A = this chain, B = another copy of it.
Amino acid sequence: MAGTPDLIIRGGMVVTGGAVVEADVVVQDGVIAGVGRPGTAPAAREVVDASGKHVIPGAIDAHFHFKTFSLHDDTLESAIRSAAHGGITTVVGFIRGREGMTARQTVDHFKAEGEKAVVDFAFHLNLGPHDDFAAHIADGLERGITSFKMFMAYARRGFMLDDGLLYRAMRGVAAAGGLAMVHAENGSIIDRLEDEFAEAGRRSPVDFSHTRPAFAEVEAIRRAIQLAEAAGCPLYVVHVSTAGGCAAVAEARARGLPITGETCPQYLTLDDGAMARFGSLAKIAPPLRAVADRHALWQGLTRGDLSTVGSDHSPYRRTAKEASADIFEVPFGAPGTETLLPVLYSEGVLRRGLSPAWLARVISENPARVFGLYPRKGIIAPGADADLVILDPSVRWTVRAADLHSVSDYTLFEGMALLGRPVDSWVRGQRVLRGGEFIAEPGQGRYVACAAPGAPAPA
């Protein structure tokens, strides 16, 4: 080796490619210098023993919200801090500007807001119904954004694109070589049902679920796929929550279409029974679904019908979530970035026996591939960023909001007993977690420009 390495992670069960091998990982100058047989690596400035632990490429939370002028109570900085506590080494967050801002200004604004970020961050750009699509897409590309988010719901909040705008935006994204992301729920059906429920005085958390029926998601996903196909545009369906939605994505993929589906830990581990327990805190969209949907999502995620898992971190303080007795007045969303990796590791790898290679694929390799960060991130291989996480399968712990770091002071996973935990992590070779302790320096995270989006590596 040329010079003494900065770091060697020794003897871990390292996910490299699709395999898990016992190996040493050597880091120098912020990148992975090599992967070698245990014991073969030279002396290094720092040596970390990972024997008996899993080593995966840095986890990426590609479904990540924070306050962008309105909505949400975490700032980019506080949200990233929470993510980093949970083993995330890169987030890809949604941004939208204030009225009148160009997309370039919006990106610059939030890049600046991430100055104190503790891990790396990239952005998706929201396209709203009144935005100049062409200008936004061009600005985005210039600033390293290649994924553009559209809403098929929330007309009353001013987010929804009608189908004609959606199709127009997709054509623009396709022409630019970008990726369209959709929140796929039929907003019109939901709004009319909400009216009916509200008029009938049915305004409780349990009522909420019934205003967003499963078929309204399935229909929207099928529609988005048809529009994307017509537009020739790669499509990423965020937070698939239903068996039918998963099937729609699977069918499209089987036809060879460039469609990628994402789900979230809350849809994998909770169901609509939680509405009674958490009340308005559990108001998220899509809503928590039936138990059968949960099973279908796990199957889809292991078969490769769904490719990624994001947190949909949408942080509000408990006070904001509980301010109104009318569920329709409650803001949407719940925190989740800090629990994303732990929940997946516990429930997928340690409880269901899925391979750590599977975990690395859905939480790191696939997000990296899909959002144009691969092979800079998403892989443990020479030359890649030294974004690394060590997971200790022997830890047992219970999720408590009090122990988490979002300003959002509750969690839907409250009380969940988890196996295993991320204990050490690095971003470009810089420490984030050490022995479970958070030791990151503010500002060590950097804005990352995304390259052209790619396809996930199926299961």
Contacts and interface: CB of A to CB of B under 8 A. Distances in A.
Interface of A: 1-2, 14, 16-24, 26, 28, 31-42, 162-165, 167-168, 186, 188-193, 195-196, 213, 215, 218-219, 222-223, 226-227, 229-230, 250, 254, 256, 299, 303-304, 365, 374-375, 379-384, 457-459
B33 A37 contact: yes
A44 B163 CA distance: 62
Contact of A379 (B19, B164, B219, B230): B19
> Chain B CB within 10 Å — which of A19, A227, A459 has the most?
A19
Contacts of A17: 16-19, 365, 379-381
A111 B38 CA distance: 33
A381 B23 contact: yes
A33 B36 contact: yes
B381 A21 contact: yes
Given A42-B42, A381-B16, A227 B219 contact: yes
Contacts of A380: 17
13 contacts: A1-B41, A14-B382, A16-B381, A17-B381, A18-B457, A24-B382, A28-B37, A164-B188, A165-B188, A213-B230, A215-B226, A223-B223, A304-B458
A36 B37 contact: no
Given A186-B163, A191-B164, A458-B458, A382 B226 contact: no
A235 to B, nearest CB: 14
Given A164-B189, A223-B223, A383 B37 contact: yes
A448 B374 CA distance: 35
A223 B219 contact: yes
B32 A303 contact: no
Nearest to A16: B381
> Chain B CB within 10 Å — which of A33, A34, A227 has the most?
A34
Nearest to A194: B164
A42 B1 CA distance: 5
A309 to B, nearest CB: 18
Contact of A164 (B19, B21, B192): B192
A56 to B, nearest CB: 12
Contacts of A384: 19, 21
Contact of A375 (B19, B196, B250): B19
A-B interface, 9 closest residue pairs, ranked by CB to CB distance from nearest: A17-B17, A164-B192, A34-B36, A19-B375, A23-B382, A163-B188, A164-B188, A162-B188, A37-B382
A24 B33 CA distance: 10
A30 B393 CA distance: 32
A45 B167 CA distance: 61
A41 B28 CA distance: 13
Contact of A18 (B18, B192, B213, B382): B18
Nearest to A22: B383
Nearest to A302: B256
Nearest to A305: B254
B192 A382 contact: no
